[in-house]
Amino acid sequence: MLPRLYRVQRARWDTDDTFSLELSPSNGHDIPAFAPGQFNMLYVYGVGEIPISISGDPDRCDLLVHTTRAVGTVSRAMSKLKAGDMLGVRGPFGTAWPVEAIHGKDVVIVAGGIGLAPLRPAMYHIMAQRENYGRVVLLYGARTAGDVLYGKQLQQWRAHFDLDVFVTVDRATDSWRGSVGLVTALIGRAPFDPLNTVALVCGPEMMMRFTTMGLEKRGVSTQNIYVSLERDMKCAIGLCGHCQFGAAFVCKDGPVFPYSQVKVLLTKWEI
């Protein structure tokens, strides 16, 4: 699969180390349809290619949005791109959050750090079809107030009467007036019916392990929890084997997995 040429329409820093790129196809066509939770392979020409979750609105066919942290060679090079620069895009790839299959359910979205990025398309979808869901709760944890992703959008979502948004940080600064503590601490007080709830979880793997434990403790069935995993994805089509996770390939069988499928694997050192 060859990369298609995309032009950067806008580049912005969301936090000190995390940035978003808004892209559109250079040929003026619509972007390929994607489902919330899927990812693309983004290619900085002459540097390399990395998988990045799509973080934009799945209903928008003109703009592809990706958010990532500048930590490696490719993502650092990507962070230097400006409006008008070009990059290659392959995708979309992978499995999606089951947003259609969970109509009628309460939805609890638990995100940690940059894990909010792959969940944002699910939020867009759910908010666009709000009548199809029960209670919707977003629990978000970040390292500090300065690391809170999509802060303005969180404020907008929080203003909705039919959405409960809770944000917590691990470390408080003087100016922070919100919750301090792990995102897992929010699970116990979040307003949802555990017996009729589906949880979508994304963040660092340790955070997801403790979050899923918290959800199960609250009474959410293992079968109703979905997690998004991250591994060293290279080909994105299940051929190279870099992202093998037990019997699955994260690029092809994931990144979104039913928690029941990966629960045992997540605590195995040898995987």
Partner 1 sequence: MNTLEPLLAKHPFFAELDQPYLELITGCAANMRIKQGEFLFREGGEAKQFFIIREGVVTLEVHVPGAGSVTIQTVEEGDVVGWSWLFPPYRWHFTGRAVTGLRVIALDGKCLREKCEQDHDLGYEFLKRFSHIILDRLQATRLQLLDLYGTH
Nearer to partner 1, 96 or 183 (CB): 183
Among 5, 182, 240, 265, indicate the residue that binds partner 1 (CB under 8 A).
182
Cβ burial 115-143 (10 Å sphere, 16+ → b, else e):
bbbbbbbbbbbbbeeeeebbbbbbbbbbe
Q: Is 176 in the site for partner 1 (CB under 8 A)?
A: yes
Structure tokens at 43: 């290619």
Q: Is 141 in the site for partner 1 (CB under 8 A)?
A: yes
Binding of partner 1 by 212 (CB under 8 A) = no
Strand partners, 7: 24, 86
Q: In the set 5, 17, 132, 238, which binds partner 1 (CB under 8 A)? A: 17
Whichever of 6 and 166 has its CB closer to partner 1, that residue is 166
The span of 26-34, 46-54, 128-136, 168-176 binding partner 1 (CB under 8 A) equals: 168-176
- Pull the structure tokens for residue 158: 């929080």
Of 169, 167, 164, the residue nearest 144 (C-alpha): 169
Do 54 and 92 meet the contact criterion of CB atoms below 8 Å apart?
yes
Q: Contacting partner 1 (CB under 8 A), which of 29, 76, 80, 143?
A: 143
265: tokens are 């694997």
Long-range contacts, 170-175 (Cβ 8 Å, 24+): 170/141, 170/142, 170/143, 170/144, 171/143, 171/144, 172/144, 172/145, 173/144, 173/145, 173/146, 175/145
Closer CB to partner 1, 22 or 147, in the complex = 147
- Position 188 contacts partner 1 (CB under 8 A): yes
Q: Specify whether the CB–CB gap between 133 and 106 falls below 8 A.
A: yes
Q: Does 253 bind partner 1 (CB under 8 A)?
A: no
- Helices then strands, counting H and E runs in the chain, come out as 7, 15
The correct pick among 112, 118, 254, 255 for binding partner 1 (CB under 8 A) is: 112
**Span from 50-58, 129-137, 170-178, 236-244 in contact with partner 1 (CB under 8 A):** 170-178
Least CB distance from residue 166 to partner 1, whole Å?
10
Question: Given the rule CB under 8 A, which residues bind partner 1?
Answer: 17, 69, 71, 112-114, 141-143, 147, 168, 170-172, 174, 176-182, 184-185, 188-189, 203-204, 206-207, 210
